[in-house]
């Protein structure tokens, strides 16, 4: 309440903020939710609902985070290298990007800000191109329209990870006096050469580095006039770069969903701008049926996630690919094409996360490449590239996670839906040339490696109460871990917070070699598993699971049974 009244009265807050807060003076629950904590960094950085309050995204919390980041950058001597800044199509994204730049500028730090919205992966690319010390993207990725966020990147191009994230958070938390946060006039910052605008020149270089990753240009050429692609940017940043890359490669039949083409932070045609949500595809599928498309693609607002559907010629229906499926399809395409061309490096590596499909492991074995598993969050996949470079160990070939993110190449160090669209359309052209749809190809992958099937279900638990409920649920699993999940016996429990794997039969324990995180992973017999963790970016508890069946129907049946068993024990 003290904080609430401070925000209502202090001179440094603007009138709109104060009016918004006064209007909720009788609603203690709302006040508690807005002020019970400061916005924290989760797997996706700073993320929250826009509005007035310490637990909301607004120009003050953005400046506060930036002041902490600025203090850290100054401590590291990064003022001259500067910070690259991008934003997506969300309401207030541009304003927050500008606030970020001006706060950094007022701290003597150079900034390079994009002239208009750009995809997150292009920011990751740009900051390395410009030799910046850090990068910031204003985006809440795939969250609902009322959210916005602030992702922080470091000089290797990946999102910050431990211990740097903790160091930056500590700096942010030291900023307790809102009146001590610096900012300056834009005209002065421009005059002093601190505020620099970037655009076309970076786009050119980004496009050029994507095109270098094409493996079968002849397949694209052969199929450019017949492969039909429907695409929706869901009102986000993907529209310009995705169309551009497809056009420059020569694809002639690209249909963009007209109602979802232009940027709009209210996302008027969807309730949730997330390619994971089948509803986000309704308009695209309608268009696909009309034009008889081969593939249907959707990118999220900051164009780091890609969702796909492909026409199954056997049924005439469009089949949804999960993030695991599209990741595996692209991975198989990249690895097989490289092996065929004799350019698969002997020290190659693919990277996925502990909650992504186990099929990746088997696939890596087939191609004799290393498979590395990280915690959930693409930042850990991006971080691996830095480790490979520092230690001269592996060559990064492909990274993916179940949540519709993947990366080919090392031009960016975060998931990149633009490169994913490019590679996916190349793969679709390559297989179509050989008389196969992407559905046929997926079936071949299962025949080759086994019928792995994964699923994800979530429970939304909002606010203070929701957080407590999630903590209690995790605690319940920890103190009394289940012995079985339906017909499956639980072989071991991996508690990533404690860093311990416990064998349920013998009681023996061993240390896990991943950083601490509130995640519980249950290893089941018969290649099954499930995992529980609170989301780092949304007020949800997430259940991930995987099974392996003897065929598609068996895998489906097993998955259903396992899901029912998990839900029962919730």
Ligand X SMILES: O=P(O)(O)OC[C@H]1O[C@H](O)[C@H](O)[C@@H](O)[C@@H]1O
> Where does this chain bind ligand X (CB under 6 A)?
42-44, 141, 376-378, 401, 403, 405, 535-538, 542
State the nearest-atom distance from the C-beta of 300 to ligand X, in Å. 8
Q: Is 141 a known active-site residue?
A: yes
- Nearest in space to 102 (alpha carbons), one of 17, 10, 202, 181: 181
State the nearest-atom distance from the C-beta of 542 to ligand X, in Å. 6
Decide whether 105 or 535 has the Cβ nearer to ligand X. 535
Decide whether 139 or 260 has the Cβ nearer to ligand X. 139
* C-alpha span between 383 and 366 (Å, rounded): 25
SS3 255: strand
State the nearest-atom distance from the C-beta of 124 to ligand X, in Å. 11
Cβ–Cβ < 8 Å for 69, 171: yes
Which ranges in 40-157 belong to alpha helices (H)?
59-75, 93-106, 120-129
Decide whether 100 or 143 has the Cβ nearer to ligand X. 143
Decide whether 137 or 369 has the Cβ nearer to ligand X. 137
Which ranges in 184-294 belong to alpha helices (H)?
186-191, 200-211, 217-223, 239-249, 282-291
DSSP 264-279: -TT-TT-SS--TTSGG
Decide whether 44 or 348 has the Cβ nearer to ligand X. 44
| CB-facing half-sphere around the CA of 526: CA atoms within 13 A | 20
Decide whether 119 or 377 has the Cβ nearer to ligand X. 377
Cβ–Cβ < 8 Å for 136, 45: no
Decide whether 384 or 441 has the Cβ nearer to ligand X. 384
Alpha-carbon torsion (224, 120, 534, 510), positive or negative: positive
Cβ–Cβ < 8 Å for 186, 102: yes
Expressed in angstroms, the distance from the first to the final Cα of the chain is 35
Which candidate in 89, 93, 124, 141 is catalytic?
Answer: 141
State the nearest-atom distance from the C-beta of 263 to ligand X, in Å. 19
* C-alpha span between 268 and 235 (Å, rounded): 9
State the nearest-atom distance from the C-beta of 541 to ligand X, in Å. 10
State the nearest-atom distance from the C-beta of 120 to ligand X, in Å. 8
* C-alpha span between 562 and 545 (Å, rounded): 8
State the nearest-atom distance from the C-beta of 405 to ligand X, in Å. 6
Using CB positions, name the residue nearest to ligand X.
536
List the structure tokens of 71: 């203090």
* C-alpha span between 483 and 489 (Å, rounded): 6
Decide whether 117 or 354 has the Cβ nearer to ligand X. 354
State the nearest-atom distance from the C-beta of 71 to ligand X, in Å. 25
List the structure tokens of 471: 């903590």
Which ranges in 404-537 belong to alpha helices (H)?
417-433, 438-449, 463-479
* C-alpha span between 115 and 198 (Å, rounded): 6
**350 DSSP β-pair partners:** 371, 398
Cβ–Cβ < 8 Å for 536, 43: yes
Residues forming the active site: 141
């Amino acid at each position: 309440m003290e904080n609430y009244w401070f925000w209502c009265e202090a001179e440094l807050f603007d009138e709109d903020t104060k009016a918004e807060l006064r209007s909720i003076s009788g609603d203690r629950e709302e006040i508690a939710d807005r002020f019970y904590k400061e916005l924290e960094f989760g797997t996706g950085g700073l993320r929250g609902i826009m509005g007035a309050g310490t637990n909301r995204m607004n120009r003050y919390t953005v400046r506060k985070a930036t002041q902490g980041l600025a203090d850290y950058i100054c401590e590291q001597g990064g003022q001259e290298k500067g910070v690259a800044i991008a934003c997506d199509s969300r309401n207030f994204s541009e304003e927050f990007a500008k606030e970020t730049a001006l706060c950094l500028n007022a701290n003597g730090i150079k900034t390079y800000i994009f002239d208009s919205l750009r995809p997150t992966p292009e920011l990751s690319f740009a900051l390395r191109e410009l030799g910046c010390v850090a990068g910031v993207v204003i985006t809440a990725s795939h969250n609902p329209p009322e959210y916005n966020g602030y992702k922080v990147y470091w000089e290797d191009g990946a999102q910050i990870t431990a211990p740097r994230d903790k160091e930056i958070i500590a700096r942010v938390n030291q900023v307790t006096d809102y009146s001590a946060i610096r900012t300056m006039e834009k005209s002065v910052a421009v005059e002093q050469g601190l505020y620099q605008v970037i655009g076309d020149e970076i786009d050119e270089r980004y496009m050029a580095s994507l095109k270098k990753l094409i493996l079968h240009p002849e397949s694209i050429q052969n199929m450019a006039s017949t492969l039909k692609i429907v695409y929706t940017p869901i009102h986000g940043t993907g529209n310009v770069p995705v169309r551009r890359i497809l056009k420059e490669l020569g694809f002639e039949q690209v249909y963009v969903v007209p109602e979802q083409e232009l940027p709009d932070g209210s996302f008027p045609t969807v309730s949730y701008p997330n390619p994971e949500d089948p509803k986000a595809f309704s308009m695209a599928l309608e268009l696909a049926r009309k034009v008889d498309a081969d593939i249907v693609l959707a990118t999220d607002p900051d164009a780091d996630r890609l969702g796909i559907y492909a026409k199954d010629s056997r049924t005439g229906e469009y089949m949804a690919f999960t993030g695991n499926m599209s990741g595996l399809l692209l991975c198989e395409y990249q690895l097989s094409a490289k092996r065929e061309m004799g350019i698969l490096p002997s020290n190659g590596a693919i990277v996925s996360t502990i909650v992504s499909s186990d099929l990746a492991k088997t696939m890596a074995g087939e191609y004799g490449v290393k498979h590395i598993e990280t915690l959930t969050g693409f930042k850990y996949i991006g971080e691996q590239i830095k480790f490979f470079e520092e230690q001269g160990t592996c060559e990064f070939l492909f990274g993916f996670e179940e949540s519709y993110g993947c990366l080919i190449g090392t031009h960016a160090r975060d998931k990149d839906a633009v490169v994913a669209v490019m590679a996916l359309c190349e793969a679709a052209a390559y297989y179509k040339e050989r008389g196969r749809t992407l559905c046929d190809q997926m079936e071949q992958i299962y025949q080759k490696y086994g019928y792995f099937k994964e699923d994800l279900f979530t429970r939304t638990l909002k606010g203070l109460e929701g957080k407590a409920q999630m903590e209690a649920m995790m605690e319940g699993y920890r103190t009394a871990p289940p012995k079985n999940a339906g017909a499956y016996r639980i072989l071991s429990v991996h508690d990533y917070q404690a860093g311990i794997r416990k064998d349920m039969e013998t009681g023996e324990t061993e240390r896990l070699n991943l950083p601490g995180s509130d995640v519980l992973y249950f290893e089941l017999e018969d290649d099954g598993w499930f995992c529980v963790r609170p989301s780092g970016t949304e007020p949800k508890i997430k259940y991930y699971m995987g099974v392996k069946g003897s065929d598609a129907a068996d895998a489906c049946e097993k998955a259903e049974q396992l899901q029912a068993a998990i839900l029962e024990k919730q």
